[in-house]
Amino acid sequence: MRPTCIGDSWRRGTSGCRWWGGLTLRYISTAGQSPPVSLEEALFAGPAPDGGLYLPETSEPLTDEARQRLRGQELADTAMAVLSAVIGDDVESNVLCGVIERSLDFPMPVVAVEDRVSVLELFHGPTLSFKDVGARFMAGLMGHYLRQDDRELTVLVATSGDTGSAIAHAFHGLSGVTVKVLFPRGRISARQQKQFTTLGGNIQSFAVDGVFDDCQRLVRQALADTALRRKRRLASANSINLGRLLPQMIYYFHAVAQLPTSAQPLVICTPSGNFGNLTAGLMARRLGLPVSRFVAATNANDAVPAYLASGQYQPRTSQATISNAMDVGAPSNFARMLALYGHNLLAMQDDILGSAHTDDETRTAMADLHARTGVLLDPHATVGYLGVRAGLRVADPKAHGLFLATAHPAKFAEVVEPVTGEPVPLPQRLAACLDRPEQVIDMPADYAALRDALES
């Protein structure tokens, strides 16, 4: 029996949809052919058995009063309010509170950039990337469940840049867990690579002879290999895992709470690669986030902006760019976006504007903004800046724009410094890994090679 109202129920913000023999669902697959599961099951499964990705069944939006109370609150309080709306009783409140306090222990400030434009800085975590938010929360929640189960876990992660380091640091030293990071050889920055290839211990790094989409394909093949999963307990740490997306809703609400009440209507631009970050924003909107429109900004890998413009989705081989974390030709979370909107293109176009930008445009904007304002952005945040400017051009003249800065510019100094003509200050936690030796295993883009590595 296939559920048919996942998109409608999320758009309406209704609750109480019941399928599967009258049981109230918790987390359901975008493909609609797998039974609902608990948060713990979704967390360790990664993709659903039918190949779809999990989404919360539905949830009530936060009330106006609840959203007003978020102003002036600590990040942890905002996190509890937001996550309680989609997790409910699946995790005891004291456990959830503990995971939040241990994982989200760094600032996420909103900073004015220029007239009617602000930036949410998400690069103040341990690995200087927004992915610290999802990775640390997911590791904390998995750790809670693993303490009740003595089976060993292998976490698989494909990375186009920052995901690998965030996951590796989040799980480093966690008892009973081995992390295997797959990255495309020669296609991520040297500093990004050093952040996870130098950790050792329970972190293993594989340089794949291919592109990010090859790495992602290999991970999904392993997760779908039932014979292998009988031998090894596997979990994914990419944004196909719901545990990564749920905490990312938090900082959207946290950002709005820091803006003046006059910053409306609000346009939010999310620089996007695998589109998990944007999907989290769309989920936050259904919880009551006061945003008039999102901008899905990306680089030459523009399958989603092209879909929003034409209605034709054509994934393709990824192209290498200076904003390499967005070099994804077939974004996994597009399936979640479609499900949230019930495959209704017009409804999606009402909420999301697509925006794609070349490397030349990115370099020009980076240099211009730095010269005019002193603001220093990495290539991904610069794409976000370009996207929010594009969104404001078609918005209400009084609209305010907010874009997400997803990584510290020091992680991309080889791009930023020639453009701005100035050295980028190197944070100590990044400098600490640069002199350590790397531990890397070369691997062809072949599933048999990965399976051998997992079975050995």
Domain ranges of the chain: 107-130+243-422, 132-241+430-455
The Cα angle at residue 259 between residues 258 and 264, in degrees rounded to 5: 145
Strands (E), 237-319: 266-271, 293-298
Q: Quote the percentage of the chain above a pLDDT of 90.
A: 79
Contact by Cβ (8 Å): 444, 201: no
What tens digit of pLDDT does each residue of 297-345 get? Answer: 999 999 999 999 999 999 988 899 999 889 999 999 999 999 999 999 9
Contact by Cβ (8 Å): 102, 92: no
pLDDT score, position 60? 78
Note whether 107-130+243-422 and 132-241+430-455 share their fold: yes
Parallel/antiparallel/unpaired status of strands 27-29 and 54-56 = antiparallel
pLDDT score, position 24? 39
What tens digit of pLDDT does each residue of 143-182 get? Answer: 999 988 777 999 999 998 788 999 999 999 998 999 999 9
What tens digit of pLDDT does each residue of 295-304 get? Answer: 999 999 999 9
Confidence grade of residue 2 (pLDDT, cut at 50, 70, 90): very low
Q: CATH assignment of 107-130+243-422?
A: 3.40.50.1100
- Characterize 85-103 residue by residue with b for buried, 16 or more Cβ atoms within 10 angstroms of its Cβ, and e for exposed: bbbeeebeeeebbebbeeb
pLDDT score, position 26? 84
Contact by Cβ (8 Å): 23, 1: no
| Radius of gyration of the chain measured on its C-alpha atoms | 21
3-state secondary structure of 254: helix
pLDDT value at 58 more than 90? no
Confidence grade of residue 238 (pLDDT, cut at 50, 70, 90): confident
Q: How far apart are CA 396 and CA 394, in angstroms?
A: 7
What tens digit of pLDDT does each residue of 83-112 get? Answer: 988 887 788 899 999 999 999 999 999 999
* CA-CA-CA-CA torsion sign (87, 325, 30, 293): positive
Q: Give the residue among 295, 326, 323, 308 at the shortest CA–CA distance from 402.
A: 295
Confidence grade of residue 40 (pLDDT, cut at 50, 70, 90): very high
Right CATH number for 132-241+430-455 from 3.40.50.1100, 3.40.50.1000, 3.10.105.10, 2.40.50.140?
A: 3.40.50.1100
φ, ψ of residue 102 in degrees (nearest 5): -80, -30
Neighbours of 410 (CB within 10 A): 20
Q: At a CB cut-off of 8 Å and minimum separation 6, what does 39 contact? A: 26, 27, 87, 90, 91, 242
φ, ψ of residue 180 in degrees (nearest 5): -115, 115
Residue-wise DSSP of 66-114: HHHHTTT--HHHHHHHHHHHHHGGGS-HHHHHHHHHHH--S---EEEEE
Q: How far apart are CA 243 and CA 45, in angstroms?
A: 10
- Per-residue pLDDT, averaged over 448-455, amounts to 95
Name the β-bridge partners of 157. 181
Q: How far apart are CA 275 and CA 344, in angstroms?
A: 18
Confidence grade of residue 43 (pLDDT, cut at 50, 70, 90): very high
Burial class (CB in 10 A: 0-12, 13-18, 19+), 189: buried
Q: Quote the percentage of the chain above a pLDDT of 70.
A: 95
